[in-house]
Amino acid sequence: MNPSFGPLTSSEYPRFLPLGDAYSPRLRRLAFLSSHYLNFDSSALAEGTYAWVAGPAYETPAEGRFLRNAGAHVVGMSTIPEVVAAREEKLEVLLLSLVTNMVVIPDTYRSIKEEVEAEVCEQYGVILVAMLIVVSAAYWSRRRASTDANRVA
């Protein structure tokens, strides 16, 4: 839960804490320098946008798409309340996250409506082909009968 919820306990803490500078540029720079000096692979440390959700459940595919479209690179159920509390105390903050699971957003995801529409189109296609065969057979049958009748006469 966000530590800013609830009654204001002290006038020392702002009701609406600005978080535009939540993460210390100085500490972020030190983290990247340390990574370089330790010869870590360049992909070992990255910057991105952390989206906090209250949990305690993993994201649905729809929530995952929403958060990704909103610019999130990582989604988690912790960390941000601690960042808010630390910033209230005017501490410098560096956030390092170990990503342990990917948000499951199936690439082939289609809504049920889309699946039904595709199925109906497929069924209509089969019905249409069957109708064309029947109409064509009837046409050629009548034409043959007409040709045969003209030969007899």
Q: How many CB atoms lie within 10 A of CB 59?
A: 20
pLDDT in tens, 7-35: 777 777 777 888 889 999 999 999 999 99
Which amino acid makes up residue 35?
S
Domains of the chain, by residue range, sit at: 1-109, 110-153
Contact 100, 74 (CB under 8 A): no
pLDDT at res. 3: 66
Query: b/e map of 105-115 (b: 16 or more CB within 10 Å)?
Result: eeeeeeeeeee
Q: Exposed/middle/buried for 64, CB within 10 Å: 0-12, 13-18, 19+?
A: buried
> Can you list the alpha helix ranges (DSSP code H) found in 89-111?
none
pLDDT at res. 30: 92
Low-confidence ranges of the chain (pLDDT < 50): none
Active site residue 82: no
Choose the catalytic residue: 12, 47, 59, 82.
59
Specify the residue for token string 């306990």: 9
Protein fold of 1-109: Rossmann fold (3.40.50)
3-state secondary structure of 105: coil
CA distance linking residue 35 with residue 45, whole number of Å: 7
